């Protein structure tokens, strides 16, 4: 019975689509093909008309947008037109636009794109509207928009067809407008500090700058494998070597890893580097710029995320990784000095032990297991072990740790920064240690980058570096439960693949 009902719905939908195509053909036969129109003069948007009614009353305006509702009442009709800034009511009267055009107007469908010329007035109910004097069909919609009251609710379909989502769920736009405001604030803040925005390669011959699995492609002319960048760190530090003292780059990074509510294979990050600065300077920039982004984009340094207030007002809390581990796991690694002792306590506490694991990696595993979930308010976790920080400068007082921090809020890592390792001999040893990890099966470990080592040998000044995960920050600023809600076009499995998998299951 259900199958029969579903088939009838599909058949009815197909009939509706055919009717729309027939309407288009009729227009084309009459020499009124909307797709031959290349330009339309728009003088005003819906919001500016409503906000400036007193000065625009009776004035002639020209607007364009999508037909979202239509109520025909004999010789007069009302419709709602939706443009990029909102919706506005339009009064369409047969005697004003002409009998033929009115007859044509009555055949318009929801979703059609139209141009309206007319004057601004208020209806008896005091709604600011446009009295149409001329109406033209600019584009015929051959698909059916979701029903007005049900909307597009299927989350998966919303991500796949973001263009429909933006039409029928206008509130979705707000997250992306907030994102734009936040990114403008970020760029403006750094520009005012004297940073230079630069561009570095997305296609790399070595996947370096972070512990991550890359996407691999092939360059036909050079006949070599290439990688989509997992980070832009090593190129930006080459620019510091070259004499640019303050640089930043914001753009897409690509990591061939899992997907969940806060991970997408391609995402937006910013990295910045400042010569003659250290990780303390990067902490100051981090808390100041993120709080500034929040204030500019939302009007406050405090945001409500899924019922929890998060206060980005500086200064943020600071803890070393070992202090965090001690507070939340009860294990004091200042009294544990050997790899053997660390592995024994890891086994006792149920921490997964991986091949070649050492004391520093155990501390990091303890932090991930016991510490991260307690970091709700913005917090800097500092002094990461050398073993998990291959590009960070060693701490002078405790060479087993580095001058590094990660910034957390809502249990998430938002930023990663350190005083950059500029000793080429130490850096080579760190790369060799990463190669050892690769041989033990860690496919996220670094590769040896000889050219970067050469750059360090030329001479990298003391430098502070910082990376911020833009999408996660925007999630917090927009109260978005998934990273897909702040990406216009998130990565999705092709529908054809789903269909093939379903067919295989049925067999």
Cα–Cα dist 82/63, whole Å: 10
With CA atoms as reference, report the closest residue to 214 among 391, 446, 430, 431: 446
Pairing assessment for the beta strands 308-311 and 196-197 based on DSSP bridges: unpaired
> Is 248 within 8 Å of 232 (Cβ atoms)?
no
What is the value of pTM for the model shown? 0.89
For helices 450-459 and 233-242, angle between their N-to-C axes, nearest 10 degrees: 30
Cα–Cα dist 160/154, whole Å: 10
**DSSP element (H, E) containing 297:** helix 279-298
Q: What is the pLDDT of residue 149?
A: 43
Cα–Cα dist 437/503, whole Å: 41
- From first to last of its 507 residues, the chain has per-residue pLDDT tens of 445 545 555 556 688 899 999 999 999 999 999 999 999 999 999 999 999 999 999 999 999 999 999 999 999 999 999 999 999 999 999 999 999 999 999 999 999 999 999 999 999 999 999 999 999 999 999 999 886 545 566 788 889 999 999 998 888 999 999 999 999 999 999 999 999 999 999 999 988 888 889 999 999 999 999 999 999 999 999 999 999 999 999 999 999 998 999 999 999 999 999 999 999 999 999 999 999 999 999 999 999 999 999 999 999 999 999 999 999 999 999 999 999 999 999 999 999 999 999 999 999 999 999 999 999 999 999 999 999 999 999 999 999 999 999 999 999 999 999 999 999 999 999 989 888 888 888 877 788 889 999 999 999 999 999 999 999 999 999 999 999 999 999 999 987 755 455 545 555
Cα–Cα dist 361/345, whole Å: 13
With CA atoms as reference, report the closest residue to 107 among 12, 20, 31: 20
Q: Strand ranges (DSSP E) for 255-336?
A: 266-275, 302-305, 308-311, 317-320
Neighbours of 430 (CB within 10 A): 19
Q: What is the pLDDT of residue 1?
A: 47
What token pair was written down for 193?
Answer: 């500090």
What token pair was written down for 295?
Answer: 């204030």
> Is 416 within 8 Å of 380 (Cβ atoms)?
no
Cα–Cα dist 406/466, whole Å: 9
What are residue 226's DSSP bridge partners? 217
What token pair was written down for 360?
Answer: 């520093």
Q: What is the pLDDT of residue 442?
A: 82
Q: What is the pLDDT of residue 11?
A: 59
Q: In the Cβ-directed half-sphere of 59, how many Cα atoms lie within 13 Å? A: 15
Q: What is the pLDDT of residue 439?
A: 87
Cα–Cα dist 263/146, whole Å: 29
> How far apart, in Å, do the first and last CA atoms of the chain sit?
23
Cα–Cα dist 286/280, whole Å: 10
């Amino acid at each position: 019975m259900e199958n029969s009902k579903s088939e009838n719905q599909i058949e009815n939908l197909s009939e509706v689509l055919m009717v729309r195509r027939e309407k288009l053909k009729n227009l084309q036969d009459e020499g009124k093909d909307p797709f031959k129109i290349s330009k339309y003069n728009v003088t005003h948007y819906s919001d500016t008309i409503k906000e400036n009614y007193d000065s625009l009353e009776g004035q002639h305006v020209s607007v364009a947008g999508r037909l979202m509702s239509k109520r025909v009442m004999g010789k007069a009709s009302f419709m709602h037109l939706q443009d990029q800034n909102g919706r506005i009511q339009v009064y369409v009267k047969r005697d004003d636009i002409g009998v033929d055009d009115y007859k044509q107007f009555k055949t318009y469908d929801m979703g059609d794109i139209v141009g309206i010329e007319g004057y601004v007035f208020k209806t008896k109910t005091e709604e600011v509207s446009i009295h149409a004097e001329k109406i033209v069909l600019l584009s015929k919609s051959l698909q059916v928009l979701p029903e007005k009251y049900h909307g597009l609710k299927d989350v998966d379909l919303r991500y796949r067809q973001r263009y429909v989502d933006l039409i029928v769920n206008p509130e979705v736009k707000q997250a992306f407008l907030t994102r734009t405001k936040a990114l403008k604030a970020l760029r403006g803040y750094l520009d005012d500090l004297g940073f230079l925005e630069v561009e570095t390669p997305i296609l790399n011959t070595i996947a370096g700058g972070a512990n991550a699995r890359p996407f691999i492609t092939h360059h036909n002319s050079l006949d070599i494998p290439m990688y989509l960048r997992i980070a832009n760190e090593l190129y930006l530090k080459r620019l510091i070597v070259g004499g640019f003292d303050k640089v930043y780059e914001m753009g897409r990074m690509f990591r061939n890893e899992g997907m969940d509510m806060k991970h997408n294979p391609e995402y937006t990050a910013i990295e910045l580097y400042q010569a003659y600065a250290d990780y303390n300077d990067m902490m100051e920039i981090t808390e100041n710029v993120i709080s500034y982004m929040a204030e500019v984009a939302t009007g406050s340094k405090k945001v409500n995320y899924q019922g929890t207030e998060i206060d980005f007002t500086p200064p943020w809390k600071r803890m070393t990784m070992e202090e965090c581990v001690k507070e939340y796991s009860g294990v004091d690694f200042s009294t544990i000095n050997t790899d053997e002792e660390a592995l024994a306590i890891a086994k006792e506490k149920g921490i997964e032990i991986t091949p070649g694991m050492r004391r520093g990696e155990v501390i990091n595993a303890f932090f991930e297991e016991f510490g991260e979930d307690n970091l709700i308010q913005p917090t800097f976790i500092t002094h990461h072990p050398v073993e998990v920080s291959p590009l960070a400068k060693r701490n002078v007082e405790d060479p087993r740790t580095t001058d590094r921090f990660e910034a957390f809020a809502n249990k998430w890592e938002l930023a990663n920064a350190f005083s950059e390792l500029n000793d080429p001999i130490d850096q080579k040893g760190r790369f060799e240690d990463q190669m050892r990890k690769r041989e033990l099966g860690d496919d996220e470990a670094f590769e040896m980058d000889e050219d970067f080592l050469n750059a360090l040998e030329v001479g990298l000044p003391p430098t502070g570096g910082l990376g911020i995960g833009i999408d996660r920050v925007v999630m917090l600023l927009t109260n978005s439960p998934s990273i897909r809600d702040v990406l216009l076009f998130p990565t999705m499995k092709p529908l054809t693949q789903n269909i093939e998998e379903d067919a295989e299951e049925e067999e």
